[in-house]
Structure formats: structure tokens, C-alpha cells
Amino acid sequence: KNEIFLKGDCESRCTCQGNNHVSCTTQTCAPDEACKVQNGIKACFPADTSSCHIYGDPHYITFDGKLYHFQGSCNYTVVETCGNTSVYFSITTRNEHRGSLTWTAINSVAVSFNDLNIILGKNKVVEINGLVVSFPTTPAPGISIGLSGAFVVLQTNFGLEVKFNGDHELFVKVNENFKGKLCGLCGTYNGNQQDDFLTPEGVLAPTSNDFGNSWRVSDAGWICEDDVVDPPPCGPTDEIKYEDECKLILAGNGPFKDCHPHILPQIYFENCVYDLCATGGNQDQFCNALEAYASACENAGIVVGDWRENTICRKK
């Protein structure tokens, strides 16, 4: 008697009245909660989250943790709801060449849902439905745009957060209520990296370039090349030199050591070497690579040491 239990997807909260009588009331979990079993109890618990991280000459780390590189210079769907969800949203990025035909970076990010089209642009310029706005601002109930550190942050009340630094780095964070309901360059978010290269047609793409091109969206306002050119490989001497520079990310006694158990440093180390190879040792790219790992750590709530100290990235 008086025992409380939840039915279905926690949509009914029921109480035992005794004598085989049960009374139920309807309820829903809050947007930042998920219906799940913890310690043998089924209830609405705080929802887990996952982030897709895109940065540099685009490295893509999907919601399920798969890493790939894609140098397309067009407009692409990075995340879109494609399963049965109560909320529809889509996030696209325009990519641009920066002084070289063999690598690109994000130019701007467009987020669309309801009747809102929000563009997070270069140098932290924000447009809502075609008008440049200053922020912090609340363009609709439950939607806010503000500044947090180096990032413009778009927050929603339905489990989506988008952060863009106005230059090359994008985080898309979603909660577990979107699990198995997303598609695009950030993958399928179902805990399985093997099917992350799913095209809009539902076919697995054989290569990252095929996958990237499959999510291209037509964009009359953005001139781009159809062909995707991969950066030339590094010579062994250069590779050793760049690995030596980038190993600060891996250092067991370095500024990132507290983050290692939470965010795998190997991926970010490999990306750092890749960027230096692609750009002939460009030091801005080196600093961006370190900054990206620091941002990923901070995004996961881990405080890192002063990684700029004793490097070329030290702020003058």
C-alpha cells in the first residue's frame, strides 16, 4: 500500500491504494530529465548529455566519439532531428578555405527550429531571422543567446546547446532524449560508432569524403568547390617534429593531466599533428589545437592548468 511506481515512459505516476486498487495521474519528465532505471528505480532522472566537437581544419568528433576529417568547402548539415521527436531542429555550417585549397574551417553556423533561423557568424556576430542582434538576448521563450568565455552560446529548454567561438570551433551538446533520433555529420548518437557515416538515404558511406558530401545542402549564397582535396601527407622528419610539439596534450604531468581520464587526449594529439602537417607547421593552428582540447575539457566541467604558459601561445 502507498507504494509509488511509474508506468511506460514515466508518463503515468501510480500509487497502490490496497485491495488491488491503483490510482494513476499523468505526468511528464522535465526537458532536462530522462525516464530511466537507476538503482532499480524507474523515474525521471537528470538526463545524460553528449557533445559533438568540430574544430580546426575540420576535425569531427561525433556524439558517439568517432573521429574523422573532412575538408569540404560548402554548406553541410551537422545535426538534424530525423527520428520521431517532439522537437524539430537543424544545424548547418558553411565551411571556407583559408589561404589554402587543401584545408577549410567553419565560417558560420545556422540553427533552425520553430520559426527561428539563428546564424552564429564570424567574429561572434549573431543574426536572428536576418537581423543582426546584440546579446545576451532571449529570442523566444526558453531560448537564450549569450557569451561564455570565448564562445557565443545558444541554449534551449529542450535539451540542445550550441557553442561557436566565431572562428573555427563548434560544440553541439544534446541530452539523451535525442538518442537514436539524430543524423548529419555529427553521427547517429546511438552509442555505436560503426553506423555514424549514415547518409540521408540511410546508406553507410565508405569514406569520410563520401559521407561529408552526402550531407551537403544547396546554398545559393555560398560559392564552393564540388571536389574535396585532402591535405598532402607529412614527411617523416616533419611528423616527428610536430609530434614533439603536440605531445604537451599527452604529458602526464602537463597542464591537461586532470582531463585525461575524462576526454581522451590521443584524439586531440592526432588532430594537432594533422593540423601542423596540413598547414606546414602554422603556429596559430598549433594554439587552436591546444585550445580545442582545453575547451573540450571545460565543456565537460574539468578545470585545466595554464596551458599557454611556456608555449608560443602565451597571451602577450
Whether residue 315 is contained in a domain is answered as no
CB 87 within 8 A of CB 95: no
Residue 233 is predicted with a pLDDT of 86
Residue 12 is predicted with a pLDDT of 85
Look up residue 151 and give its three cell numbers. Answer: 564562445
Backbone angles phi, psi at 265, to 5 degrees: -75, -25
Whether residue 308 is contained in a domain is answered as no
In this structure, the answer to whether residues 201 and 240 fall within a common structural domain is no
In this structure, the answer to whether residues 40 and 158 fall within a common structural domain is no
Whether residue 305 is contained in a domain is answered as no
Residue 310 is predicted with a pLDDT of 80
In this structure, the answer to whether residues 140 and 9 fall within a common structural domain is no
Give the burial class of 314: count Cβ atoms within 10 A of its Cβ; 0-12 exposed, 13-18 middle, 19 or more buried: exposed
Whether residue 257 is contained in a domain is answered as yes
Whether residue 222 is contained in a domain is answered as no
In this structure, the answer to whether residues 56 and 73 fall within a common structural domain is yes
* C-alpha–C-alpha distance, residues 261 and 288, integer Å: 22
Whether residue 231 is contained in a domain is answered as no
What is the total count of domains within the chain?
Answer: 3
Per-position pLDDT tens, the chain of length 316:
678 888 888 888 888 888 888 888 888 888 888 988 988 888 899 999 999 999 988 999 999 999 999 999 999 999 999 978 889 999 999 999 988 888 899 999 999 998 999 999 999 999 999 999 999 999 999 999 999 999 999 999 999 999 999 999 999 999 999 999 999 999 999 999 999 999 999 999 999 999 999 999 999 999 998 889 888 889 999 999 999 999 999 999 999 999 999 999 999 999 999 999 998 999 999 999 999 999 999 999 999 989 998 888 988 6
In this structure, the answer to whether residues 59 and 38 fall within a common structural domain is no
In this structure, the answer to whether residues 74 and 195 fall within a common structural domain is yes
In this structure, the answer to whether residues 70 and 172 fall within a common structural domain is yes
Residue 101 is predicted with a pLDDT of 84
Q: What is the pTM for the complete model shown? A: 0.90
Domain that holds residue 241: 236-299
In this structure, the answer to whether residues 34 and 55 fall within a common structural domain is no
Q: Smallest Cα–Cα separation from 164: which of 136, 131, 122?
A: 122
CB 33 within 8 A of CB 6: no
Residue 197 is predicted with a pLDDT of 98
In this structure, the answer to whether residues 169 and 62 fall within a common structural domain is yes
In this structure, the answer to whether residues 20 and 67 fall within a common structural domain is no
* C-alpha–C-alpha distance, residues 20 and 119, integer Å: 56
Whether residue 68 is contained in a domain is answered as yes
Residue 66 is predicted with a pLDDT of 96
Residue 48 is predicted with a pLDDT of 92
Residue 10 is predicted with a pLDDT of 86
* C-alpha–C-alpha distance, residues 208 and 181, integer Å: 21
Whether residue 117 is contained in a domain is answered as yes
Residue 185 is predicted with a pLDDT of 98
In this structure, the answer to whether residues 262 and 171 fall within a common structural domain is no
* C-alpha–C-alpha distance, residues 216 and 75, integer Å: 6
In this structure, the answer to whether residues 147 and 178 fall within a common structural domain is yes
